[in-house]
A and B are shown apart, each in its own frame.
Chain A
Amino acid sequence: MTGDRNPFRGLRLDAVDATRRRFLTVTGAAMGLAVVGSLPGLASADGSAVELTQLPEYPFTLGVASGDPLSDSVVLWTRLAPRPLEPFGGLGPRPVMVLWQVAEDPSFRRIVRSGSARARREDSYSVHIDVQGLRPWREYWYRFRVGRHVSPVGRTRTAPAAGDSPAALRFAFASCQAYWEGFYTAYRDLAAREHDVVFHLGDYLYEYSVGVGAGVRQQQLPADTLRETVTLDEYRGRYALYKLDADLQAAHASAPWIVTMDDHEVENNWADEIPEGNTPTPTRNEFLVRRANAFRAWWEHMPVRLSQQPIGPDVQLYRRFQYGDLVRFNLLDTRQYRDDQAAGDGSDPPNPGSLDPNRTITGAEQERWLLDGFAERSARWEVLAHQTAIAQLDTRAGADVIVPMDTWDGYVASRQRVLGGAAERGVRNLVSIAGDLHRSVVSELKADYADPSAPVVGTEFVGTSISSGRDGMDNDEGGLTILAENPHVKFSNFQRGYVTVDVTPDQWLADYRVVDRVIVPGGTVTTRTRLAVEDGDPSIHVLGGQA
């Protein structure tokens, strides 16, 4: 906390009510019918629709978060859960009033925005505050309150104004955090290094059982953590479990996050309306219901706007974030619109399916959106922030080429259209950041890997997992094979960690942070290597460590 004995001093409840009425006037309309009494029968006789202003137990057990920064706004998030592993966090059924404040300083002496929101059971008592009217490209601090309980303080930062030319941007990206396979030590390190923004590129949670004893965590947990998540209550419970981690909470509180999702937020290797082969929801209808449940729980637990609230089994995930004329981030969705994996999924030689010009990993509409954005050439660094590797990754030693069907290798035509499209539209510096592989792989991107003379059109920085895959090692056999078989791959590592990137107009500098051990708490985090890309030259320079 901040040392201020009464952090909400001066925030009078009548003033809050006025703010709240305004808040509801704006967002209530957008959300449908959130105003009490506007629906016949809702103001029930037992008073269950009347909101609580006090809670007996501390409700901020899942931490705070902010996200999706724009130049004048940012989303603040928390979820009230006095008993986080119980249904609805131990609350219900009445809504709870949550107060929030945004200040220009961590001591909350200069509060610039404040208000209240209702945490409602149908949202798992989460709140998503889309704070407006902030100044561009500056830090803010925020906190929540319910009655006498005050949340931890979060730090956030808005994006630069449109047309602004920031001198530098520091961001991090992370992915893949199987709860039972490792401690989130990497996040503790991430939280301690000031980032302007943090990207999560998918597999925030896994649908699988965490196992008896929760693997390396050695925790006795409620029985529902042993079930594969299918229903909404199960996905909600799993998010609560993951978000109880103090290191993950610290990382969320350290910077705004921009979050997408990959497969495991729903189910391993799903593709559009098609579940994986071995699934508890084998029919299309069963899977769509599961997808709707998974998306709903994702929305409830992520610091995203109402525009990312799912409508049944559909959610708008792909979106853009502009950091002046320095960087544009294109956050992609390569799950919801993709064709089913070719050749029955798995790893295979390039085949008629993977090479089919009519198949897509993005869907036609998203691809057009992306290519149209390229044509705007709005920033010096055009970044694809997304799920899995675009670069070809031959995983078989020797003459055979065996590539994964779940990555862009299974959608060669998409790779050609997107990378070729960027080159045709004169994108100055195309950079891909991704996850999914549980290994770090840094590659030079070509639109056509079958053509040895094809030019390099961009660079790709795949980050390893936070915890999935346990400790790993510097390079396993798979990593050595990838290095040997793919001359466009310039760096490979099989430890856990994340990546910090410092971007200036002249240079992209990626710092691969790795953890020596994640199966025990308190591992040591170090820089494994730094890699640079110079403006206008899509080649990768290894600055430190071994390639």
Chain B
Amino acid sequence: MRRRQIAVVAGSATVLGLLTAVASTAARPDDDPVRLTATPESVQVVGLPCLPSSFRLGMTNVGSADLYADVELAAGGPVVLDRGLVSSWLPAWDPDHTVTARVGVTVPRDAEPGTYEVRATTDGAEVAVPVEVLPQPPKGDGDNLALGEQAVASSTHANFDVCGAVDGNTNSEEWDTLTGWNDGTSGAFPDTYDVVLAAPAQLTRVETWTLDSTRYPAARYGLRDFDVQVRTGGAWQTVHEVRGNTAGRVTSTFAPVTADAVRIVGLASNNRDYSRLVEVQAFTD
């Protein structure tokens, strides 16, 4: 392998989480050789359960010996992180190699808007990441009540996030593993995708956006047969049965019904493998 002999020697002597300077070169620092970065350098977040934000923590060993680093993460104010620690082997490769890890950032619904700080620290290195908590989006008449609310699915493909169909992005051309939901059981139906609203509301309309891009047209990849349901008094009630659909966007309008959740029941897709949703929206107007 191409690693330098120095790294091989020092690797076995890297103890106590610190760099052990078995050998060194003048050009590379052996005290505090870890550099931390965040990408992006600051984060914006909204206090909704299904609008997660994140940054990538970068860890670079600019020293002359491989080491294992523990980077501890701490958040100020209402900010909640999905991990408090990132540990990794950091090779002393030349050119430098930056190891990255995703850090998920959320705040509770009642978080006070403002700017808070996430701090990542390891021996001799630190990076601060400003986290701006944005005000809640309006959720009145004419607004999408499903935006960012908690989504729950019967299954979710390993490459997808269950929140992908409530992220406010209806653009199928940006369909990928983040902005969209794909169930996890190929060829098996039905699949369900629920969005739990923040509070009961008198719903009159649901918009269902299934995959419909130039590369993946709805007539071949979109949901063909599905039911739109709302939850009233703990029971699911079908408000629209859609059959033989080939469109990317299906509007369901119905008599006003007070509901605390919306469900799409995928019964078949046009190519019979998966249920694919780009966005689910719920309105009171």
Contact = CB atoms under 8 A, between A and B. Distances in A.
20 contacts: A31-B15, A39-B20, A42-B18, A49-B16, A120-B16, A122-B68, A209-B158, A223-B82, A228-B158, A231-B86, A231-B101, A232-B88, A233-B83, A285-B91, A289-B91, A289-B99, A293-B87, A311-B8, A312-B3, A312-B8
Contact of B87 (A209, A232, A288): A232
Interface in B1-43: 1, 3, 7-8, 11-18, 20
B116 interface: no
Q: How large is the interface on A (under 10, 10 to 19, 20 to 34, 35 or more residues)?
A: 35 or more
A119 B202 CA distance: 60
Interface in A212-241: 223-224, 228, 230-233, 236
A367 interface: no
Contacts of A31: 12, 15
Given A33-B20, A311-B8, A122 B15 contact: yes
Q: How large is the interface on B (under 10, 10 to 19, 20 to 34, 35 or more residues)?
A: 20 to 34
B56 to A, nearest CB: 12
Contacts of B17: 121-122
A163 interface: no
B186 interface: no
Contacts of A42: 16, 18
Contact of A278 (B84, B91, B101, B159): B159
Given A231-B101, A312-B11, A292 B82 contact: no
A266 to B, nearest CB: 13
A453 B2 CA distance: 45
Contact of A39 (B16, B82, B89): B16
B54 to A, nearest CB: 12
B12 A311 contact: yes
A314 interface: yes
B91 A230 contact: no
A47 interface: no
A309 interface: yes
Interface string A73-107: 00000000000000110000000000000000000
A292 B16 contact: no
A296 interface: yes
B104 to A, nearest CB: 8
Task: Give the interface SS of chain B, mostly helix, strand, loop or mixed.
Answer: loop
A545 interface: no
Contacts of A231: 86-88, 101
A309 B12 CA distance: 8
A56 interface: no
A292 B89 contact: yes
A436 B59 CA distance: 35
Given A32-B20, A42-B16, A233-B83, 7 more contacts: A32-B15, A224-B83, A231-B86, A233-B70, A312-B8, A312-B66, A313-B89
A149 to B, nearest CB: 24
Contacts of A480: none
Specify which of B7, B68, B85, B101 lies most central, judged by the most chain A CB atoms within 10 Å of its CB. Answer: B85
Nearest to B90: A289
A233 B15 CA distance: 17
A33 B15 contact: yes
A208 B84 contact: no
Interface in A164-211: 208-209
B158 A293 contact: no
B16 A289 contact: no
B8 A285 contact: no
Interface in A1-49: 31-34, 39, 41-42, 49
A121 B84 CA distance: 16
Contacts of B11: 311-312
A540 B192 CA distance: 50
A289 B89 contact: yes
B88 A208 contact: no
Given A33-B20, A224-B82, A232 B68 contact: yes
A438 B207 CA distance: 44
A312 B3 CA distance: 10
Contacts of A223: 82-83
Interface in B128-158: 158
A296 B7 CA distance: 16
A288 B88 contact: no
Nearest to A32: B13
